[in-house]
Structure 1
Amino acid sequence: MTEAAALTSPMIVAEDVRKRFGSNEVLKGVSLRMAKGEVIAVIGPSGSGKSTFLRCLNHLETIDSGRIDIEGDTLVANDAQGQARYVTDAEVRRICARMGMVFQHFNLFPHLTVLENILAAPLTVKGMKRNEILPKAEELLRKVGLLDKRDAYPSRLSGGQKQRVAIARALAMEPDIMLFDEPTSALDPELTGEVLRTIRQLADEHMTMLVVTHEMGFAREVATRVAFMDGGELIESRPAAAFFAQPEHPRTRAFLESML
């Protein structure tokens, strides 16, 4: 890929993505394109397929049909029979390494300190030396306001602190894209703000982010675009200001009236 093409090509292209769990079709032909530096908030009622779509993008779930390209490289596409065929396992790992993922429930290693949680993946997955990654890990802890907790264990942290450590851990792998799966849904309301401030800071630094969230204020203020999903379909995707001011689809309007 030429430098010019790299600057203009989308970071994520999903086309007609379909996914079933048994007889339940949870994604019914979802398509989305995402540009570099965009922050897309994916909203919608529970069970609409938001988290499943996110997990399909980085191969935590496999799709039945459709196409997913990450930074111009194809992760999966349909074969001649219309069935999804993935690239080799090595290529899947290489492509998915460009994405960092932050989950609802932190998934920190309880037996490791905060600092060791951040060091773990660069040491084991990237094979980096400890002295290479240590300054970066400390800087990430400073960024999320938790350098003073570097030697603490997760059990000694609040939920908001755990989630900020999880964000720092994902950033330690230097991803080009960050995926957030309802990062505040497991938090008490008073702890939500500190996590959203961290994500807002990443947005200010032009990190490309796809955020599944129920936080309408965050979606309105921070997202460049909002995508609304319902019943396994992507119903509407528009710039955030226009989305909230003049939603086009009746299902979108009904959802926003129930949430705002």
Structure 2
Amino acid sequence: MPDRTSKPAFALSLQDVHKRFGSNAVLRGVSLQVAPGEVIAILGSSGSGKSTLLRCINHLEAIESGSIEIAGETLVQNDTGGQARYPDDRSVRRICARTGMVFQHFNLFPHMTVLQNLIEAPMTVKGLGRGEIVPKAEELLRKVGLQDKRDAYPGRLSGGQKQRVAIARALAMEPEIMLFDEPTSALDPELTGEVLRTVRQLAAEHMTMLVVTHEMAFAREVAHRVLFMDEGVIVEDRPARDFFASPQHPRAQAFLQHML
């Protein structure tokens, strides 16, 4: 068990991560270190491996080889034969609980109210009592501007409201790292701003975040660093200001010319 009194140098560390789907190599030797409180924007064309990278970090997908450390704990590392080996399921769940993930399509439980969506995982996974978690959940709803939707069902919410509930639900588990997989891609343009305001607030509070996004203005404003991926490889990893001022890789240059 790691010493929780001493903070690790990196909130997240990946070394030479490989992931395949059949004959398709989706991640081809990805290495990455993220400092606590750092906001990383992950950019790239569709199919470049961005979403798969996030899904491997929180073990929605298993890798073939490489290592992943989350807050100083080893989620997976190579065995002597160079194959990725994970610890027991209980350890995997505990380590992955240090991350929270927000998906493109909300994934809320439609038969539960907004409040019930927030308290379900802390009660069932962490064993918290209702009296303990409800005040925290209500505070999170205030944080995302939805305290008046406490007893509403997801079907009565707009897309932007659903996504803010999804963010609050992830935060209810008190993660150390938030992973956002294109959180605004399923929203109408006028609803995008309210979700991005919530993510900006988290950045101001120094939450460690990896954000897959096509919102270039948001990435330029909020991210400390930009990773640009192409064909399963990080081809550019630079401070956001430098990346947007003068991308170096030809694929990144073409991407920005198309997006800006």
Distance in 2, Cα, partners of 1:87 & 1:228: 31
**Secondary structure at the counterpart of residue 238 of structure 2:** strand
Equivalent in the alignment of 1:90 = 90
Equivalent in the alignment of 2:129 = 129
5+ residue gaps in structure 2? none
Using the TM superposition, give the Cα deviation of residue 2 of structure 1 relative to its aligned residue in structure 2, in angstroms. 5.8
1:259 paired with 2:232, answer: no
**Secondary structure at the counterpart of residue 237 of structure 1:** strand
Equivalent in the alignment of 1:38 = 38
Using the TM superposition, give the Cα deviation of residue 257 of structure 1 relative to its aligned residue in structure 2, in angstroms. 1.1
| One-letter amino acid of the counterpart of residue 239, structure 2 | P
Using the TM superposition, give the Cα deviation of residue 5 of structure 1 relative to its aligned residue in structure 2, in angstroms. 4.9
| One-letter amino acid of the counterpart of residue 129, structure 1 | G
Distance in 2, Cα, partners of 1:62 & 1:131: 36
CA offsets per residue over residues 59-109 of structure 1, 9 Å max, x none? 000000111011111111111111111111111011001001101000000
Q: Which moved more, 1:239-248 or 1:142-151?
A: 239-248
**Secondary structure at the counterpart of residue 163 of structure 1:** helix
Using the TM superposition, give the Cα deviation of residue 4 of structure 1 relative to its aligned residue in structure 2, in angstroms. 8.1
Q: How many residues align?
A: 259
Q: How do 1:234-245 and structure 2 match up within 5 A? A: 234-245=234-245
| One-letter amino acid of the counterpart of residue 111, structure 1 | H
| One-letter amino acid of the counterpart of residue 137, structure 2 | A
Distance in 2, Cα, partners of 1:241 & 1:222: 10
1:16 paired with 2:16, answer: yes
Distance in 2, Cα, partners of 1:209 & 1:89: 25
Q: Which runs of 4+ in 1 moved over 6 A?
A: none
TM-score with structure 1 length normalisation?
0.97
Using the TM superposition, give the Cα deviation of residue 3 of structure 1 relative to its aligned residue in structure 2, in angstroms. 7.2
Change (3 A) 1:122 1:4: closer
Cα RMSD for the two superposed structures: 1.1
| One-letter amino acid of the counterpart of residue 259, structure 2 | M
Distance in 1, Cα, partners of 2:172 & 2:178: 12
Equivalent in the alignment of 1:187 = 187
**Secondary structure at the counterpart of residue 18 of structure 1:** strand
Using the TM superposition, give the Cα deviation of residue 9 of structure 1 relative to its aligned residue in structure 2, in angstroms. 1.0
5+ residue gaps in structure 1? none
Equivalent in the alignment of 2:142 = 142
Distance in 1, Cα, partners of 2:124 & 2:73: 25
Q: How do 1:45-194 and structure 2 match up within 5 A? A: 45-194=45-194
Using the TM superposition, give the Cα deviation of residue 169 of structure 1 relative to its aligned residue in structure 2, in angstroms. 0.3
| One-letter amino acid of the counterpart of residue 70, structure 2 | I
Distance in 1, Cα, partners of 2:64 & 2:6: 30
